[in-house]
Every structure is written in C-alpha cells, then in structure tokens.
Structure 1
C-alpha cells in the first residue's frame, strides 16, 4: 500500500493529537516533532478541520484538538477520507481505461477482493488502538504525560 505525503502527515497529526489529549497541539509543535514543513502541515490541518476530524482554536491558548474520541475513528474510515484512489491498476477502475480485456479477465475481481480484505482489517482498528499499542510515542514526540487525576 502506498500513501500520499498528505495522508501520511494526516495520520501523524491525528496520532500526535490523540497522544496529546485535551491539551492539543500547535501546528509548530506537530511540524517540529515530525520534521515536517509547517506550510504543508497547515494545509493538512485545514483539511482535517474541513473533514470535522480536528477542531482549531485561534489565539494564545489555541491550537488543534481531535474533534472526536480516538476510539471512534477507524483507520479504514480515515484512509477512505484521505485517499480517493487506492490502486493505480486499470483493473480497479469502474471504466475500461484503455484495457482491451477489461471485465473479461479475473484480475479485476481478485484486486477488488484483496482491496476489500485490506479495508476489512483496517476497519477493525481505531486511532485509540494505534496509540495504545505504541508505548513511548509521547516521549519520542516530545509530549509530556498528563499528570494523573487527583
């Protein structure tokens, strides 16, 4: 599977925000943690806000926060929102796309079945699963652990 840079940075941003929790983060913090361009991350953040995955607040205590619980966001659902094309093969398109045996060979069925299996797996996992199964991510990203509730 191949992700666009935009999708990759979208997932990284959501992971950062899931780890940061209620505190959220600024574009500068996320860009610094991943060595990404703030300009590119700003575009990603705007798209995440447009998709209602992230909220953005301006001002001194502003920043980005997840708009939903990480437990509500499936990896498959997110990927479907980030990517519009899942394979470059002509066989996976709805139109012939110049293939003279389109619809006659079994390759289209095989590719579609495998893509269905991929999403079947991705839909079983949430952003929360990804974050919980990755101990040490907060420290690696420079996010301080929230103090335990008193």
Structure 2
C-alpha cells in the first residue's frame, strides 16, 4: 500500500507543527523545508483546519499550529481522514469488477484483513510518538525512533 502525496504532505505538516509547538508556523516554512508545492500544501492545510487538527490564524503575523496536543492526534485517524479510499484491488468495487475469479476468490477478504491490520498499527501511534513532541524523555522535540514494542502493544478498549 502506498500513501498519496496528499497524505504525505498532511503528515509532514503535522510533524512540523508538533516539533514547533511554541510558534505560529507559515505554509512557506513547511514548503521551504520540504521543497513541495505551495498550492498543494495550501489545500492540505485548509483540510487540516476544517478537520479541527490545526488552528489557522489570519493576518500579517498569522500562521498555523496544532489545535490539540500531539499526543492526542492518532496517526490512524489522520490517515483515514487524508486518504480517499483503501481499495487495494479492482474487486473492492463491485460495480466495475472485471475479474473472472470474483465469485470464488477469497483474495478480497485477505486484502481487507491486511488493510485493517495496517490501520490497527497506525491506531496505536500518536503524532507525539513519531516526533518526540510532548515527551519528558525528549526535551529537544527531535524525531525519535519508534520501537517495535510500541507498535505491538495491546490497546485497551
């Protein structure tokens, strides 16, 4: 599975904001760092504002910042918000499937389970986990390596 550039830019924007929690950040700051399209990033920022993940401040000294702490932003939720669909194969679209095996094939179910497992891992990770933001163990706020233990931890429901 490959994430779209839209989702990539969404994650980069949130990560940048998490690593600069004490300041208003401009779109140009992020564009300059990552050398990405300003028009594309503007669309991403607009959607992040509508979703409530970031706050936008207009005006000469305006900018953007996280609307809530990084440890409350779940990466799985961000991915679901940014990606338009998770159809991994044509057979997920029943109306247009041209597959000769569609009636007897179990691949669709396996791919669905794989997608759910993928999202389940992302549901265990917060923006703070991937950036080191809000962590007493990482006062610099620089990105940290996520241990495999974090990704396999049991969640409480």
Q: Which runs of 5+ in 1 are unaligned?
A: 138-150
Distance in 2 of aligned mates of 1:94 and 1:120: 25
Partner of 2:57: 57
CA RMSD of aligned residues (A): 2.0
Partner of 1:126: 126
Distance in 1 of aligned mates of 2:93 and 2:19: 37
Paired residues of 2:18 and 2:70 also in contact (CA < 8 A): yes
Hey, which bits of structure 1, 4+ residues long, moved more than 4 A?
A: 133-137
More relative contact order, 1 or 2 (CA 8 Å, 6+ apart): 1
Partner of 1:99: 99
Partner of 1:27: 27
- Written as runs of structure 1 = structure 2, the 5 A alignment for 1:1-150 is 1-93=1-93, 95=95, 97-132=97-132, 136-137=142-143
Q: Which runs of 5+ in 2 are unaligned?
A: 144-157
Partner of 1:147: none
Distance in 2 of aligned mates of 1:46 and 1:118: 27
Deviation of 1:61 after TM superposition, in Å, equals 2.5
Say how many residue pairs are matched: 137
Deviation of 1:22 after TM superposition, in Å, equals 2.8
Paired residues of 2:19 and 2:142 also in contact (CA < 8 A): no
Paired residues of 1:48 and 1:54 also in contact (CA < 8 A): yes
TM-score by length of 1: 0.82
